[in-house]
Amino acid sequence: MAAARVVVRGPGSEARRRPSLGAARLLVLLAAVAVLGPREGGASRLYREGQDAVWLLDSGSVRSATVNSSAAWLVQFHSSWCGHCIGYAPTWRALAADVRDWAAAIRVAALDCAEEKNQDVCRTYDIHFYPTFRYFKAFTKEFTTGENFKGPDRELRTVRQTMIDFLQNHTESTRPAACPPLDPIQPSDIRSLMDSHSGQYHAVLFESDGSYVGREVILDLIPYDNIVVSRALDRDKAFLGTLGISSVPSCYLIYPNGSHGLVNVAKPLRSFFASYLKSLPDVRKKSLFLPEKPNKEETSEVVVWEEFDRAKLYTADLESGLHYLLRVELAAHRSLAGAQLKTFRDFMTIIAKLFPGRPSVKKLLETLQEWLANLPLDKIPYNAILDLVNNKMRISGIFLTNHIKWVGCQGSRLELRGYPCSLWKLFHTLTVQASTNPEALVGTGFEDDPQAVLQTIRKYIHSFFGCKECGEHFEEMAKESMNSVKTPDQAVLWLWRKHNMVNSRLAGHLSEDPKFPKVPWPTPDLCPACHEEIKGLDSWNEDQVLMFLKQHYSRDNLVDTYSVDQGSPGDQGALGREQEGGEGLHPSEKPWGHQDAESLRPPHMLGPRTDLSKNVHHRLDLKLQSPKGLQALEEAKAAVPFLGVGFSSLDMSLCVVLYVASSLFLMIMYFFFRVRSKRWKVRLYHPSV
């Protein structure tokens, strides 16, 4: 059944409107949205289940598929929001279709790390950047993270040839059973074949040493009966002459009755040789190994289109971006140390001081920043950061949504815009806030550096942003001109110029949303004063652009519409309540951008602000919730294996802080009383006259 898409638009949507629906028809649409729900199974946004030849894996299937498999695997770990991954998807589809006949020997698969349910498995396989290609050998008994792709480029032909090299790297005992021998045979073997009557066709591809045509044809004929294909090299010129072969590649065919001769094809290409051999009489195709089509009919994608104003900045976009940054993208790193840890500390300092969002989110960011700054450790496990973000300490008044809800960053398809859009908005907001509120950075060490925000963003992108090619492009732009920034206002304009450069470069790219074309921004309808004509050429009035950016990314222009409500002041936060009931531990269990009725509660005013560091230390004695289920128990044990107690990494790190502080206090008290006792003894034995 073809996947259906339901698009619901608000009455003021910027998309082209259709005639308004009647009340009954609208109810039908809303009911459809409620009933259909998200896609299930291993479906990926860039690849179509049951239509593409790509095998779709997820957290529940990748390990069982690749461990002790009868076939080798080439898996692309990608992210559906990554522009390079989107642009590469047609090549990957074409590769999978091109080698679909090789599936009994090696299979082409994909796993979407952007799906939150896959974040743990992507961390397990040590995936930091996208796309990452990994090979998995057949009949591997133990778990392995695979072998990295080592081709000079990622063109279809290159990847196909490296697949062949990988198959040949198998030992005789681990080679896929369905994979024929790929090494060349000798002239003596060919003579023996000519003298025998095997009752089936035997084709020999003669080729040069560096050619892959013979091996490709061998693999193309795997699913065909009554024919065997081998390859031979063109080193013995005299032998080739006896067979009438004057050029390579050429195909020599031995028939079932023992006769033999040179095959004549119009062009000496892989497709011509393979097509000819497949069309021989009595050569029949066996059952083909292909990804199964989904059994369920509920394979519908639901896109709920929200009404929004392009002139506004939406809290939901910024908070969804922070949620994805902290809970998904950062999860690719099991621990942070050295330069990575410093980069993350600096990044969180910038965000905590400049983020203009809601008080509860700001309080969470400030708590995380203070904890990172005061923790005397050179290495921090990611799980400790996650515990704080998820508010396992039950600190009142801190909150960060665990759902994705794109509004100004929503796309016409799930893989378009979204997270990269929210990051750009966040970066612009930080540069503007640093320019308009410079006092926010006082005491951080960044207050006198006009490049501080840009350089911190630059280091974050280099260390953590999943799209590697995107990060390389940003680094090139930074090397070119970032050092020329001398004032905070210049930093605002620098980021704006580079964003427009990126838009220009990606215009027409597959990652471009047709409903949101990549054009110079702000457009004339948003900022007429920003545009002027000089000698007939459309030009920017950068003074007006700066004024527009400062207004657009200001706190006054931030709209809380569609943001997740945060609960009452006495609560531990919506996330904490969900975890207490055993729910909400896996945000991916809920549809992207969809909120259920329970998670939407009436907003209330937050309680009075308290000192954050005192708050954290005051709550050290609170008992954490008991982990429920085997998975939670294993995670808790893994957090502190030497104690065997279900404390989180955050608890242990805070205990270390208290332990060090109490040890220092005891040492000081010891020396204090020791000095006093010596003075007392002096007075006792040497009384004054």
Q: Is the pLDDT of residue 262 over 90?
A: yes
Q: Would you say 484 and 374 are in contact if contact means Cβ atoms under 8 Å apart? A: no
pLDDT score recorded for residue 652: 64
Active site residue 527: no
**Tens-place pLDDT, residues 272-284:** 999 999 999 999 9
- Residue 681 is predicted with a pLDDT of 61
Determine if residue 199 is left, alpha or beta; phi over 0 gives left, psi from -120 to 50 gives alpha, anything else beta.
Answer: left
Confidence of residue 377 (pLDDT cuts 50, 70, 90): confident
Confidence of residue 302 (pLDDT cuts 50, 70, 90): low
Q: Can you give the pLDDT at residue 539?
A: 86
Which residues, in sequence order, are CB contacts of 58 under 8 Å at separation 6+? 41, 42, 111, 112, 115, 117, 118, 121
pLDDT given at position 298: 40
Give the lowest-confidence range in 250-259, 355-364, 439-448, 647-656: 647-656
Residue 252 has φ and ψ, to the nearest 5°, of -115, 125
Q: Bigger pLDDT: 375 or 287? A: 375
Q: What is the pLDDT of residue 545?
A: 96
Q: Which tokens belong to 170?
A: 């198998």
Q: Of residues 566 and 185, which shows the higher confidence score?
A: 185
Q: Which of 82, 179, 251, 470 is catalytic?
A: 82
pLDDT at 581: 36
Task: Calculate mean pLDDT across residues 597-622.
Answer: 36
Question: In sequence order, what are the residues at sequence separation of 6 or more whose Cβ sits closer than 8 angstroms to the Cβ of residue 73?
Answer: 55, 65, 66, 106, 107, 109, 135, 136, 146
Asked if 564 contacts 319 with a C-beta cutoff of 8 angstroms, the reply is: yes
pLDDT at res. 682: 58
Strands annotated E in 4-105: 5-8, 55-57, 72-78
Give the model's pLDDT for residue 569: 38
Lowest mean pLDDT among 108-122, 197-211, 524-538: 524-538
| Across 7-31, average pLDDT | 38
At 686, is the secondary structure helix, strand, or coil?
Answer: coil
The helix (run of H) or strand (run of E) holding residue 202 is strand 201-207
Query: Where does residue 27 rank: exposed (0-12), middle (13-18), buried (19+ CB within 10 A)?
Result: exposed
CA terminus-to-terminus distance, the chain: 108
Residue-wise pLDDT for 46-85, tens only, equals 898 877 889 999 998 999 999 999 999 999 999 988 888 9
Span 87-106, average pLDDT: 93
Query: Looking at residue 207, what is its pLDDT?
Result: 96
Cα distances (angstroms) measured from residue 167 to each of 78, 152, 158, 310, 666: 23, 18, 14, 52, 64
H or E element, residue 320: helix 315-324
Distance between CA atoms of residues 438 and 432, nearest Å:
10
The pLDDT-based confidence of 306 (bands split at 50, 70, 90) is confident
Cα separations in angstroms, 286 against 50, 51, 104: 20, 20, 11
Task: Note the pLDDT tens digit of each residue in 563-605.
Answer: 877 653 333 344 433 333 333 333 333 333 333 333 322 233 3
Mean pLDDT for the stretch of residues 1-28: 39
H or E stretch covering 230: strand 227-233
For residue 179, indicate whether it is catalytic: no
pTM of this structure: 0.62
Please give the single-letter amino acid code of residue 11.
P
More confident residue, 285 or 432: 432
* 3-class state of residue 206 by DSSP: strand
Per-chain mean pLDDT for the chain: 79
Reported confidence tier of residue 538, pLDDT bands at 50, 70, 90: confident
pLDDT in tens, 499-516: 999 988 888 888 888 888
Is the pLDDT confidence value at 407 over 90? yes
Written as one string, the DSSP assignment of 521-553 is SS-TTT-GGGEEEETTEEEE-HHHHHHHHHHHT
Beta-carbon-side half-sphere exposure of residue 423 (alpha carbons within 13 Å): 22
Question: Which residue would you say has higher pLDDT here, 138 or 612?
Answer: 138
- pLDDT tens digits, 442-474: 999 999 999 999 999 999 999 998 888 888 899
Contact 117, 111 (CB under 8 A): no
What is the rounded (10 degree) CA torsion for 333, 336, 340, 345? 120
The pLDDT assigned to 104 comes to 93
Query: Model confidence over 637-689: pLDDT tens digits?
Result: 344 333 333 455 566 667 777 888 888 888 888 888 877 777 666 555 555 44
The confidence score (pLDDT) of residue 680 equals 64
Give the pLDDT confidence score for residue 368 in this predicted structure.
94
Q: Burial level of 642, CB count in 10 A (0-12/13-18/19+)?
A: exposed
Question: Which amino acid, 195?
Answer: D
